[in-house]
Structure formats: C-alpha cells, structure tokens
Structure 1
C-alpha cells in the first residue's frame, strides 16, 4: 500500500506539447481518460484534444480555451495512470488532502469525487472559452511583483491604477504578489514598482485573470455550475480563495 498522498494539480501555464502522451502509451487507464475527453469535446476545439496535447502546435495548446480542458484532462490521465501503476483501485488511494492552482482546483475536486470527469471537463472547457472571450474584449495583462509584501503591492496597485482597472489578484507567497488589470495600468505598475525598488515581471498571459475584467466569465460559469451535481469532497480540498479546505457542502464549492 502506498503512503499517505497529498495531490497538487497544475494550473494554466503548465501546459506543454507532448503532455500525457507517455502515460497513454503505457497505461490503458490514462488512455481511457483522453478517449473520453475526445468524445465529450468532439470537434469543439478544431481537432481532438489528445492530438493537440500530444502534437501541438504550441500556439493552439496555449490558447486559454484549449489549455484549460487540456490541463484538466492531462492531470486526471496522469492520476489514473499512476493509481493503476501503484495497484490502487478507484477510491482506494490513501489521499489525505488535495489542492490545485486556479484551474487545477477543478482537477483536485474531481480526484476528491466532487463531480464526474465529464462534468468537470465541460466546466473547464466553458471556463476557458468564457475567459478567452473576456480577455479578447479588453486588452489586459498581469504583472508579478517580486519582493513586495501585501501593503507594498497594494500601494503600487493604487498608484498605477489611475482611471483603469488594476487589482492585487494573486498572493502566491510571501514577497510575491501578482497584479491584474488593463494593459495600460499594468505598464504603469512596472514603472511605479521600479521607482519603489520592487522588481516587476510582466507575465505572458492572455488576459487579466482573477480580476474584474473576468466578471463576464464568472457569470457564465456560475450559470453552468448551477446545473452540475456537486458532492462534498471525499478528502479535504484547499480553496484558492480562502487558503482553507472547502466545507463539506456543495454550496461552498
């Protein structure tokens, strides 16, 4: 029997051409996950999801509407393949906790049996489409501040915002806060941060994720979530919003 496990699932930005391919070549369980994803998504991406994951091109895989269902599928395929390799039947893995970065929280919740693979895939596909549309509607970006605590990051944000949109979006670690907003505000933030002795790194993202610019995507996802059967997680799953485990009820998720 394997030792106690904590499962951590990746978020958008971790995608790479070829991901999951080796698992599908050595694990029938992993192959079945990609087969199901191809069937559920059909031709909605312009090509089978497995083909995009395994062969690219990278510019297609990196699109928000593609990378999100791709990462979710690859994460679950890896998990199913690993479970089979360890001789663990479904539901027998000694998981004591799970978490995921942003999109990865959906993968963690599926592993914790909160919803089916197909329901989760449909949700993340819609999430990716809605976020892509929101990003295309407003020129926006994100900037990481390295060496800034929460107060310093907020000060940079307040000074750089002007009449635009700019918020402290991600508190990744002590000394690393990510700002998210319209392109002009993000550019101003780089200048303001430099003036205050803070290193600013412009992130290569499609839009201002985790900001008010994504509100149309949040609204679309809320409607979809209302029609999905969600069960309390079988193990504690940490929330990106609260940095605490989800409560044992579907509404909190």
Structure 2
C-alpha cells in the first residue's frame, strides 16, 4: 500500500537569518530561483535572507516573500535529490498556505512572487494603519479562549493545537486578557513579538486589497488537495481557492482541524519544510503518534533521504 504523505510549509515567525544559504550553495537551480525572486520583488531578498539584519527580515513585507522563496527552493531541491518523492496533500500555516499552493501547481513560482508581495505589503500597511498585536493562551480549551475573545472584543487568530490558541486585536483589548485568563485559570498567557494583529478584523483592508488583486490572477486546480486554513479542509476549485485565500487574511487559522482532517484521510507521514521545525512541534501536540519529519537544512534532507524514499 502506497504511503500517504502530507507536505507542510511554515508561516511567518519561522524566519531566521541564514535561511536558504545552504540551499543555494548546494544547487544551481535554487540559485536561479533566488535570483528571479530578487528581480521580480525588486529587493535584495537573497542578501536579507542569508545575512539579515534580523530587524529587516522580521518585517512582514520581507519575511513573507523570504519564507515563500525558501519553501519553493527547498521543495525544488527535495524533488531533485529524491525524484521518487510524492505527496498526497499539501498545507501551510498562514503564509505557508500560498507556498503549498505553488508546490501543488495552483500557480507558478513567478506568479506566486507577485501574489505574496501584494499580500505582504497589504498586511504590513493594514498593521501600520490599525496597530495591534497577538497573545497566546497556553492551556486554554477552545470554549475558554472564545469566551475571553468575546469579552475582550478580540478575534481568535489561530487554533493551532490543543492548549495553544492565539488571540489577536487592538493593544487596548489585549491588555484585558491576563486578568480574564487568570479568572478562568488559564495556565499561561504569552504576548507575541509580532508587528500587527494578524488574522483579525483589523486586517480587513488587507483582505480587500488582496481581493482586488486576485480578481484577474490566474489559478489552476492543484495537482493534489491543498488544505485551507480558513475552512480547515481541502480545496481544489479555483473559485474556492480564491475565496479562501482572501478570507484567510482576516479569518482564523484552523490548523488543528487541518491536521485532523489529514489524519482522517489516512495521511501517514507529515513532511515540514521551513527554517525552524514549528509545524512538527504542533503535530506532536495534536497527534503524538503521527510521523513528522522536519526539513530545515540540506543536512536534514541528507539524513532523512532514506525515509523520504518510502512509497
């Protein structure tokens, strides 16, 4: 019986200085991808990814394209090093959903660069016009997190895993969370070091800008189902993909639902591509028995090559 495998891509927050440099040193085709990205994006993305500075790489307008390029570059190298590699479904956290679509053939790398640039700049602009932030609730269940969100007038940005939910909104509303969480005996509250209230109503203008861009943006049916963060299930029709990518900007990321949906479809191996093994960590919280492989460097690819050959 053929192994059912999911391919996962990281989102904003996984970036780190040096990402992609070893990929470029290992392969000429990867170097070409980075050169194309520098040209299409009209920014020194390669240099910022490889050398920083960190304060520049963390900016949304830089970070999101950097992660997209890193994901497709690593996927390209994976296909060359392990030609028999196959995957049954694809998914990504937030920005990573766009990388998953590119890997699945929904749009080309070049078109994806334009899409990611538009999305990133719209989100950064919205964050500057409507300042806000995000806060993690550790140990809270869904009902408790939703109750706190309603009382503080916040949105649930991420349903990441059992006991790990993220709230998003204005700084004034976020200031109410610690006391509300204490009253409900939530184990820990952690303010996140982010530049905006992502996946919340404060991103509405960004979603509308992305809607206008996507009106004439060509989309194909992906070769494999791609799980939607917004719906928590796979999407395949171009019209549905267009709609979910727009709603995802201001809607909740239902990552736990995505993983559970993949498990229900018989996925037996989850392969994460990104600079840091964030999604593999969430997988362990959702389904400790599931097989997860994190590919962050060329050395990881070499060490897991035998496992990735399994079919």
Alpha-carbon offset, residue 139 of structure 1: 2.0
Q: 1:59 is matched with which residue? A: 55
Alpha-carbon offset, residue 215 of structure 1: 0.5
> Which residue, 70, 73, 76 being the options, matches 2:72?
76
CA distance in 2, matches of 1:76, 1:170: 24
The answer to whether the 8 A contact 1:83-1:93 is kept is yes
Q: 1:191 is matched with which residue? A: 179
1:153 alignment partner, SS class: helix
Q: 1:171 is matched with which residue? A: 159
Q: 1:14 is matched with which residue? A: 14
1:111 aligns with 2:103: yes
Q: 2:258 is matched with which residue? A: none
The superposition leaves residues 58-108 of structure 1 with CA deviations (integer Å, 9 ceiling, x where unpaired) of 00000011000010001100111111112x2xxx74221111000000000
Structure 1 gaps of 5+ residues are none
1:238 alignment partner, SS class: strand
Report the RMSD for the aligned CA atoms in angstroms.
1.5
The superposition leaves residues 5-43 of structure 1 with CA deviations (integer Å, 9 ceiling, x where unpaired) of 42100000000111010010011121121111011112x
Relative contact order, CA 8 A, sep 6+: which one is greater?
2
1:50 aligns with 2:46: yes
Q: 1:234 is matched with which residue? A: 223
User: Which of 101-110 and 145-154 deviates more?
Assistant: 145-154
1:94 alignment partner, SS class: coil
User: Which of 3-12 and 138-147 deviates more?
Assistant: 3-12
Q: 2:122 is matched with which residue? A: 130
Alpha-carbon offset, residue 200 of structure 1: 1.2
The answer to whether the 8 A contact 1:146-1:176 is kept is yes
The superposition leaves residues 131-152 of structure 1 with CA deviations (integer Å, 9 ceiling, x where unpaired) of 1111111220011111111211
When normalised by structure 2's length, the TM-score is 0.74
The answer to whether the 8 A contact 1:29-1:84 is kept is no
Alpha-carbon offset, residue 158 of structure 1: 2.2
CA distance in 1, matches of 2:3, 2:159: 31
1:118 alignment partner, SS class: helix
The answer to whether the 8 A contact 1:190-1:201 is kept is no
Q: 2:38 is matched with which residue? A: 38
1:23 aligns with 2:23: yes
Structure 2 gaps of 5+ residues are 242-311
1:178 alignment partner, SS class: strand
When normalised by structure 1's length, the TM-score is 0.91
Q: 1:252 is matched with which residue? A: 240
> Which residue, 79, 92, 102 being the options, matches 1:100?
92
Q: How many residues align?
A: 239
Q: 2:295 is matched with which residue? A: none
The answer to whether the 8 A contact 1:65-1:125 is kept is yes
